[in-house]
Amino acid sequence: MSHHDQAPRPDTLLITLTGKDRPGVTSAIFDTLSHSGVDVLDVEQIVLRGRLVLGVLVTSPSDLRPLEAAVEDTAARLGMSVEVEHGTGDNRPRPQGRLHVTVIGNPLTASAMAALAGRMAECGANIDRIERMARYPVTAIDLHVSGAEPEALRTLLASEAASQGIDVAVQPANLLRHGMRLIVMDVDSTLVQGEVIEMLAAHAGCEAEVAEVTEAAMRGDLDFEESLRQRVRLLAGVPATALDEVYDAIVLAPGARTMVRTLRRLGYRFAIVSGGFSQITDRLAADLGIHYSRANELEIVDGRLTGGIVGDVVDRAGKARALREFAAEVGVSLASVVAIGDGANDLDMLAAAGLGVAYNAKPVVRDQADTSVNVPYLDAIMYLLGISREEIEAADAEAGIITPAPPV
C-alpha cells in the first residue's frame, strides 16, 4: 500500500463494549489492550439491569488494524458488541460550572425526566454522567452536569419540578459535598410528625384553637413570638406530667433515625433548633444522639405549666443565630451547614446555611429555600449529599441492622 493510501492516524480511540455483564469482561479487554502498548486516558463503566456498557479511551497505536482486530475478537469471545471510534486529541475537559442535579420522585416518570432534560438543554447544560442513588422507597437520580450557571439552572428546574410533582436540587460539584458537615434541623413537622404544642393543647382542651394559630404562624401570617406566647398562655394549668405523655406519643419522621445514624458514621454533627420546648427537644436529642439542641423553656411552678416561657423566645432570628453559633463551635463554615425546616420561622436559618432544604414545607418556604424535598422520608436528604441507598444499607448491614428487602 502506498503512503497516499494510508489514512492519517487518529490521536485517540474510544472503545465501547456493550452486552451481558459477567466477571472478567473488564480484565479481558484491558489484557487485549496491554499487547498494543497504548495508554489509558479515560474509563467509564455502568451496569444497568445486568447490561454492561464499558467505554475506554486510549492513545492510538502506530498501526490501528491489529488492535481493532484484537478488540473485535475479544468482544466476540465474550458475546458482546464493540464499537471503535477514531478521534483526535485527549479527552476534552468538561465545561466550567460543574454541578450535581439530584432528582427525587415517587414515582419518577419518563415524562418528568424528559421535561428536566429539555430545560437543561435550553440553558446550555450538558449531562455528563447519571447515577442512581435509590430505587426504593423513592427513585433518586444524580446527574453530573456542566456548562450551566447554578442560579439560573436552579430557578429553571425548580419551576419545572413543581409542575412535574418531583424534587430537584442543584448544587456545585465541589469538596464540600464530601466533607464533614453540620446538619441543623427544625423539630415540629420536620424531625417529628405533627406539632408538639398541639399535642400539649389536647391536654388543655384547646387543640383546635392552638392548631389554627400554629398554621397561621407557619405560613408567615403572624409574628412567631407573639403567636407562641399566645398559644402557650392557653396551656396554663396543664400538669407537667403531660410533657412525659407527649414525649412518649411523639412519632419521628420516617428515615430520621437512619439519617442521623448514617451521617454520624461519617463524622457529621447534628443540631436541633426549635420554636418548641426544651423539655421535649433535650430528651429527643439525647435519644437520637444529636449533639446540640436549642428551644424554648416552658415555665413550670408546683408541677404545672404557668402559661409562660422562661428567657428569650427562639424565633426566626434566634434559629439562625443558633445555627451560626453551632457552626462556630463545631469549627465548620456556614457553607458546610445543611439546614432543614418547614415553616416561615425557619427561613433565616435556611438562608444562613450552605444548603437550605424545605422539607414538606409551606409554599412560602419552598419558594425561598435552595431546594425542596416533598417525599415523606427524611433520609432522602442524604441523596442530596451524594450518599446512595445501597451505601446506607451496606453500612447498616455491617452494624447488624437489617433493612427490609424492597419489592422486586
End-to-end CA gap in the chain: 58
Secondary structure E strands in 78-125: 81-87, 99-105
Q: Which H or E run contains 350? A: helix 347-352
From the candidates 188, 342, 346, 348, give the one annotated as an active-site residue.
188
Instruction: Confirm whether 188 is a catalytic residue.
Output: yes
Q: Is the peptide bond before 137 cis (omega within 30 degrees of 0)?
A: yes
Residue 228 sits at the vertex; the CA angle it makes with 222 and 229, to the nearest 5 degrees, is 115
The residues, any chain, with a CB within 8 Å of residue 59's CB and separated by 6 or more, are 11, 12, 13, 38, 39, 41
- Residue 167 is a catalytic residue: no
- Four-residue CA torsion sign, 200, 201, 205, 211: negative
Catalytic residue among 142, 167, 186, 342: 186
Give the number of other Cβ atoms within 10 Å of residue 314's Cβ: 26
Residues pairing with 17 in the sheet: 54, 82
Please give the C-alpha separations between residue 254 and each of 366, 377, 395, in angstroms, as whole numbers. 20, 5, 18
Q: What share of the chain is helix, strand, coil (3-state, %, to 5)?
A: 40, 25, 30
| Cβ neighbours of residue 176 closer than 8 Å, sequence gap 6 or more | 335, 336, 354
Task: Determine the Cα–Cα distance for residues 132 and 140; give it in Å rounded to an integer.
Answer: 6
Strand (E) or helix (H) holding 78:
helix 64-78
- The DSSP H or E segment spanning 44 is strand 40-48
Q: Which residues are catalytic?
A: 186, 188
